[in-house]
Amino acid sequence: MKKRIIDILLWLPAIFLVYVFVRQGFAKFDAQSGWARAFATWHYPAWFRVAVGVAEVAAALLLLLRRTAFYGAALISAIMIGAMATHVYWHRPKAVTNEVLPLTLAIVVMIGRRPRAE
């Protein structure tokens, strides 16, 4: 019973992350979006913005299956750490707080869905 409750509880952050990262990932494909302006401000090329969008959508899809959720959460964690580094590099350390919640939830999912030797 305890294992089932934990399993159900792990779906809550996973579904939230899926919702956020599918939306934000697809938003990065639009050359007229706020994301396009932000990535340009950070001096990243357009292809990098699209690559981040692809990675975000892929990570979200990986979260939908128990056996791949760990990898999706790990990918989200890497993306969030990169975003945090971008904010620090461009002297906006207070903006790092935007990534704290997704990073924390991704770490929770990673811990709960980590592959186990059987």
pLDDT digits (tens, 9 = 90+) for 14-28: 999 999 999 999 999
The band of 116, judged by pLDDT with boundaries at 50, 70 and 90, is confident
- Alpha-carbon gap, residue 110 to 74, rounded angstroms: 6
Instruction: Using the Cα atoms of residue 83, residue 99, residue 54 and residue 116 in order, give the sign of their dihedral.
Output: positive
The band of 117, judged by pLDDT with boundaries at 50, 70 and 90, is low
* Global confidence as pTM: 0.93
Quote helix, strand, coil % in the chain, to nearest 5: 80, 0, 20
